[in-house]
Chains A and B, each alone.
Chain A
Amino acid sequence: MLATLYMSMKGIKTPSIRKIAGLDAIHEAVGRATEMGRPVHFSPGIGGLGTDVAPQTLAGLSVLSHVAELSARYKATLWTTIRQPEVQPLATEIVRQAYMKAGVPDAFDPDKVIFLSTAQFAYASGVVGLMHREKAAANIMIGGFWAESLIFAEAGYLIGAIQIAGTANTAQLPFFVAACDYNLIGEEILAAGAYLSKDPVQLGAIWGQDYGKLMAIALMAIGIMLSLAGSDYLWKVLRGPLWPV
């Protein structure tokens, strides 16, 4: 990964990555909300910044950056709902900067980046209520989601919103796939920042992931062969520790 990053940085090779329909659809979703004169709802998930879900929350905030910029440019109302208090100032700042960048700082309303509750289902009921009251035309949910995923997705479906959802929590993916128009599956949300920025160096890191996958496939093949031969050597090596402590 570091090697691909270096090659991208030095311009030795500029990688291109495949189209991610869910991220391309954000433009369409915000445009549709603008045409209908209805708001956009965004949720960066219910994970915080101090847990192992933090990468998903950061990925959600990277997408929020893009959504807020589009909303500001199109003059669409954007509601951002927050569950974790430490995410609130970050999300507020992102949306504020988006409005400043779009040249409409006065249009920024800090009350539309709303902290609802730290309790999972209190937050869920707050989001559902807001979506129904405001009749959101687009519902974008990118981040770490748990049991509330389907509650949000069904609420969005009931009000006829175009829905884009993504999470790396495998147990919630089927719910999003069943109820949403566009889905980002697993690693796609983590690539969102690089994909939307089009920064070749960031794309280099995504390119490096492919080599990681190749290594995983090779290790699997070697592991299968060794297991068939009755050896658990690779299993022991991968389980660690590498040396006795």
Chain B
Amino acid sequence: MSAAVRRNLPLVITFVAGMLAIGDYYFKVEKITGAFNKLVTDWMGFVNVAAAFAVIIGMVTLTRIHARRLTQRKTGWYNSLALIIAMYGLLALGLLFGEGKFTAHPAYTWWFNNLYVPLDATIFSMLAFYIASAAYRAFRVRTAEATVLLISAVLVMLGRAPIGPAIWSEFGPITSWIMAVPNTAGMRGIMIGVALGVLSMGVRVLIGRERGYLGPGA
């Protein structure tokens, strides 16, 4: 494949794919564009199937990295062993004993519910502690902005926790005002900017000017 084709082919595919998706969104009149809409729907299905195959690439990379750690007995090699056993063990369980449905075997469900789910919840629950430590650093009064942040955060916390309204009934309405007026206004400002940014980026990608995602020098 010549350098020019290698450089331009992804841009052409991006343009065609983008125009198909845009066309499907804007033109939906059954009698006129029905066949076109069906073509795009089928094509979207193909894209999803192609993307699913990328999981295999991910698994191969993961296996290669952890097999190397294992064979070289690097620090924490036993974690790599656990990962490989869990990954391929559950895969075999689902494929060989799933009876048509990957997750049907009770052993698979047991491992998922009793090992994966608690671990997942543990990582998520760590957020509570992280929020406390990050909030402590953010709320240290150093600037005028940090002071405003601190005051509004204290008011919102008092309004949301049961103890706040018990001390003073107006904490609830104050919190609602902070969330509904200044907070929403700020968020909407950011969201309008994001919407315009997405539009601008979409145009750049479609016309082939935004190429950073294809690598440096693309």
Contact = CB atoms under 8 A, between A and B. Distances in A.
Contacts, number: 190
Given A94-B216, A178-B138, A173 B196 contact: no
B65 A119 contact: no
Contacts of B210: 58, 62, 193-194, 202
Interface string B99-128: 000000000000000001001100110110
Contacts of B138: 177-179
Q: Is the interface of A mostly helix, strand, loop or mixed?
A: helix
A125 B124 CA distance: 10
Contact of A5 (B47, B61, B203): B203
Contacts of B190: 168, 170, 173, 185-187
A82 B200 CA distance: 26
A49 interface: yes
Contacts of B57: 85, 88-89, 115
Contacts of A170: 187, 190-191, 194
Contacts of A119: 116, 120
Contacts of B207: 5
Contact of A114 (B61, B197, B199, B213): B61
Interface in B43-100: 47-48, 51-52, 54-55, 57-59, 61-62, 64-65, 68, 75-76
A97 B76 contact: no
A209 interface: yes
A208 to B, nearest CB: 6
A206 interface: yes
Contact of B201 (A55, A82, A89, A118): A55
Nearest to A62: B212
A49 B48 CA distance: 10
Contacts of B123: 121-122, 124-125, 151
Contacts of A68: 216
B23 to A, nearest CB: 17
B203 to A, nearest CB: 6
B193 interface: yes
B84 to A, nearest CB: 14
A58 B205 contact: yes
Contacts of A199: 209
Interface in A45-85: 48-50, 55, 58-59, 61-63, 65-66, 68-69, 82, 85
Contacts of B124: 121, 147
Interface of B: 47-48, 51-52, 54-55, 57-59, 61-62, 64-65, 68, 75-76, 116, 119-120, 123-124, 126-127, 130-131, 133-135, 137-138, 187, 190-194, 196-205, 207, 209-218
Given A157-B134, A197-B211, 4 more contacts: A85-B51, A89-B54, A191-B200, A213-B196
A-B pairs with the 10 shortest C-beta distances?
A62-B212, A115-B58, A187-B197, A190-B197, A97-B215, A85-B54, A178-B138, A121-B123, A187-B193, A193-B212
